[in-house]
Structure 1
Amino acid sequence: MKSDHSTAQPVGRGAKVLAAVHAATLAELVDKGYAAFSVENVAQRAGVHKTTVYRRWKDRVSLLTEALAEHMAMDIPVPDTGAIETDLRALARSLVQSFTSPTGQAILAAMFTGAAHLPELAAARRHVFDDRLVRAEPVVARAIERGELAGDTDPAELFKTLAAPIYLRLLITADPVDEATADQAVRVTLAAVRAGALGAARVGEPAYG
């Protein structure tokens, strides 16, 4: 019997191919996991020839890296609510919603378990999260312009502080992860930034002189 994705119909070129391959990449990751993930199966799911995929992506890691970064950009949009507290709440809740979904769980498994120790996958993970941080930087920039945050607030440290309690539950403690988790992460982050702990000049300073 043929697999469900063996009957995928050919798609057009350009943006349609890109979208189809990205969607097929995530579907393959969810169904098979990273260990059994293959470019050939992605191409079959997307309805394109494998050479079409290899012309743009040299290997499965580069394909996964781009697809994951694009997925996170779409699944966790950058909010602009007019206030830093509601912006951060929207970000944190989107993060929780994204990573508690079946696709999000598969992404976490690929990036942090099994083959996650491989250097190429570690580099992919770094790229995905760096991309996420760059996309979210305008949230901090707008808050600084409104006078809600100090001008030296470090965007990367702020978002790491926001995400840390969520990832701790997802990856380490297995405690429930929900909107209450997101809202608590926001409260902790705002307390830290308002105390001056996340300023660029403070980050990395030793605790004792």
Structure 2
Amino acid sequence: MERRPGGRSARVRDAVRQATLAELGEHGYSGLTVESVAIRSGVHKTTVYRRWGSVEGLIADALELAREEPWPMPDTGSLQDDLREIVRLVRSGFADPVAGPISTAFVAAAVQSGDAARSLHDFFTARHEQAAVVVRRAVERGELPPGTDGAEVIRMAVAPIYYRLFVTHEPVTERDAERAADAAAAAARAGVIRVA
């Protein structure tokens, strides 16, 4: 028998995912439990354990679904402006009172769990590949040399934001975000971010 898309299984998965995100936002990774997700989602605890197995399984599934969500990509006609928009999007995501604590909890989970780290890696790989379209457009416009590594340009642009947030615990200003984007754009134009 074929399972109907959007049926009970999809509703259960969505309820558990939403409960996982809400619990992460309120209690962080250290406060996330299968029991709290089961209660919040209205899904029986044994079902959650059977399908997700653990907190790491809940994190992995939430990140997998988040990876599939589209990320709005700017198209300003300028690599530098596109990168500035992407970096601002990352910065504002962490500053958002709802999304910020959830994103922070995902990073904290990755520090404490190998499974969560692999899931977060896969999430970022997909995001960087999706954002690399702004680099491909810049190559097509002649703004960058052929062979520029799009995903690596994106990594270079956003890395200073993560460094400030999670290593030095400094605030990230608008100027910090612009400087990170501008540095990545300059490196890309200089031809130092090439596909290996």
Query: TM-score of the superposition, structure 1-length normalised?
Result: 0.75
Which consecutive segments of 4 or more residues in structure 1 shift more than 6 A? none
Matched, 1:27 2:22: yes
Q: CA RMSD in A?
A: 2.7
Matched, 1:46 2:34: no
| Cα distance in 1 for residues equivalent to 2:74 and 2:9 | 29
Which residue among 60, 63, 66 is the counterpart of 1:68?
63
Which structure 2 residues correspond to residues 30-109 of structure 1 after superposition, within 5 A?
30-54=25-49, 56-71=51-66, 74=69, 76-102=71-97, 103-109=99-105
| Cα distance in 2 for residues equivalent to 1:164 and 1:80 | 21
CA 1:136 to 1:46, structure 2 compared with 1: closer, same or farther past 3 Å?
same
Q: Deviations over 1:154-205 (max 9, x none)?
A: 122211110111112111222221322221111111111111111124xxxx
Matched, 1:196 2:188: no
| Cα distance in 2 for residues equivalent to 1:153 and 1:126 | 22
Secondary structure of the structure 2 residue equivalent to 1:173: coil
Asked if 1 retains the 8 angstrom alpha-carbon contact of 2:29 and 2:108, the reply is no
| Cα distance in 2 for residues equivalent to 1:86 and 1:173 | 26
| Cα distance in 1 for residues equivalent to 2:11 and 2:137 | 34
Which residue among 166, 171, 179 is the counterpart of 1:171?
166
CA 1:146 to 1:74, structure 2 compared with 1: closer, same or farther past 3 Å?
same
Indicate the residue corresponding to 1:184 in structure 2.
179
Matched, 1:158 2:153: yes
* CA displacement at 1:82 relative to structure 2: 3.7
| Cα distance in 2 for residues equivalent to 1:145 and 1:66 | 36
Give 1:151's aligned amino acid. P
Give 1:31's aligned amino acid. E
Q: Where does structure 1 lack aligned partners over 5 or more consecutive residues?
A: 1-11, 202-209
Asked if 2 retains the 8 angstrom alpha-carbon contact of 1:154 and 1:200, the reply is yes
| Cα distance in 1 for residues equivalent to 2:8 and 2:107 | 30
| Cα distance in 2 for residues equivalent to 1:59 and 1:27 | 17
Indicate the residue corresponding to 1:207 in structure 2.
none
Aligned length: 189
Which residue among 136, 143, 155 is the counterpart of 2:138?
143
| Cα distance in 1 for residues equivalent to 2:92 and 2:158 | 13
Give 2:195's aligned amino acid. A
% identical aligned pairs: 43
| Cα distance in 2 for residues equivalent to 1:66 and 1:82 | 36
Query: TM-score of the superposition, structure 2-length normalised?
Result: 0.80
| Cα distance in 2 for residues equivalent to 1:76 and 1:178 | 22
